[in-house]
Amino acid sequence: MTIPLLREIGLVLFCSFIGIMMVGSIILFIKARKNSKDLGSTDVYGLCVGFFFLSIAIGYIVRLYFMFFLAQTPEEFMTQITATYRNALALPAYANDGRLELLQNLWVLHMVIVFVGIGLLLFATEYKIYKKTKYFFTAITFVILPVIIFLPFEIAQNIFYISYLSPLAWIVIYISVAAKATGSVRKNAIMLLIGFSLFVVGILFNSGTVRRIVFGTAAGEYHVGDIGAIFSIWIAPVMLAIGFSLMLLAMLNKF
């Protein structure tokens, strides 16, 4: 398979996933507005969930740019998409003309956007679904953001997985809901958990760090084989889209 074809199919898959998320966000905003009118008060939960998905979509638009459009040749694209690090040793051509710094800054920007969304999702959950934690996980998420912004990229890239403790806490909350609830509430909680799990798998498949761990690279090596590219730009967006669709279906129902 040629690199341009690999790239074009991946681009279509990611654009489709982003489009699905945008449409889903609009649906959630419409539902939140209707609920607000019916209840006579603002549907905070619905609005926050809508903003969560919208922030993920915007974050992936930023990621889409540095994944697919920073490379100037097919060879550079393959070098970037199989890279296990975003540094001068892995991407020398980018370092020579300044694109590496742009890529690193865009990575930080997209992570900040995503974690603002995660913070809103946790706030919505602790506001309506699970109040015992008293916004503890929401606060932790927003404390993490300055760490991502102000630490040097080389450090932030290696420790940002700590920030996934917040969405993991969100999963634990819904496991608690699923365990205690019955009927449709339990069914929706389980569907949401499955969807979120698939969504996380999609995120991990598109991660350079995970490429390094899963496909294995020896010391001094900065790229994985072509199979890493397949997982990163083909399988990842499919998993993301399926996971999001399941989460959307669950959130459109009442808990």
| List of domains in the chain | 3-251 (1.20.1070)
Q: What is the pLDDT of residues 201-255, one digit of tens each?
A: 998 889 887 777 776 555 457 777 788 889 999 999 999 999 999 999 988 886 5
At 219 the pLDDT is: 47
Q: Are the C-beta atoms of 53 and 25 separated by less than 8 Å?
A: yes
pTM of the model: 0.89
Q: What is the pLDDT of residues 77-90, one digit of tens each?
A: 999 999 988 889 89
Q: What is the pLDDT of residues 38-68, one digit of tens each?
A: 989 999 989 998 999 999 999 999 999 999 9
At 178 the pLDDT is: 76
Which token pair is 160?
Answer: 């940002």
At 188 the pLDDT is: 86
Q: What is the pLDDT of residues 138-181, one digit of tens each?
A: 888 888 777 777 888 877 776 666 666 666 777 777 787 777 87
At 92 the pLDDT is: 94
Mean pLDDT, to the nearest integer, of 116-128? 86
Q: Which residue has the higher pLDDT, 132 or 97?
A: 97
Tell whether the model's pLDDT for residue 187 goes beyond 70.
yes
